[in-house]
Amino acid sequence: MFMAGSASASPITAYEVQSVFDGNQAYGGILGMLFEVNETVTVLSLGAFDDDGDGIAGTLTTELWSRTGTVGDSILAAMTFTANDYGTLEGGSRFKDLVGPLVLTPGSYAIVSYGYSATDENGNRSSPNWMGSLATNDGNGALSFVRGGRYGGTPGTGIGTTYDPEVLGHGDPYAAGTFTYEVGLTPSVPLPVSLPLLAGGVALIGAFGGRRKS
**What is the pTM (predicted TM-score) of this model?**
0.83
pLDDT for residue 201: 31
Q: CA geometry: angle at 87 spanning 19 and 185, to 5°? A: 90
Q: What CATH number did the domain enclosing 36 receive?
A: 2.60.120
- In sequence order, which residues have a C-beta less than 8 Å from that of residue 89 and are 6 or more positions away? 20, 50, 53, 213, 214
Supply the range of the domain harboring residue 179: 12-209
How many angstroms separate the CA atoms of 183 and 159, rounded?
Answer: 24
Whether residue 5 has pLDDT greater than 60:
no
Q: Where is average pLDDT lowest: 67-71, 87-91, 114-118, 210-214?
A: 210-214
Q: Is residue 16 part of a domain?
A: yes
Q: Is residue 3 part of a domain?
A: no
Q: Is residue 6 part of a domain?
A: no
- Reported as a single tens digit per residue, the pLDDT across 119-136 is 999 999 988 888 889 999
Question: What's the mean pLDDT when you consider all of the chain?
Answer: 86
Coil, strand or helix at 202: helix
Q: Is residue 5 part of a domain?
A: no
Q: Is residue 50 part of a domain?
A: yes
Q: Is residue 31 part of a domain?
A: yes
In the chain, how many domains are there? 1
pLDDT exceeding 70 applies to what percent of the chain? 83
H or E stretch covering 180: strand 177-183
Q: Is residue 2 part of a domain?
A: no
pLDDT for residue 204: 29
Nearest to 175 by CA among 127, 108, 119, 141: 127
- Reported as a single tens digit per residue, the pLDDT across 148-163 is 999 999 999 999 999 9
Q: Is residue 26 part of a domain?
A: yes
- Reported as a single tens digit per residue, the pLDDT across 25-82 is 999 999 999 999 999 999 999 999 999 999 999 999 999 999 999 999 999 999 999 9
- The DSSP bridge pattern shows strands 149-151 and 162-164 to be antiparallel
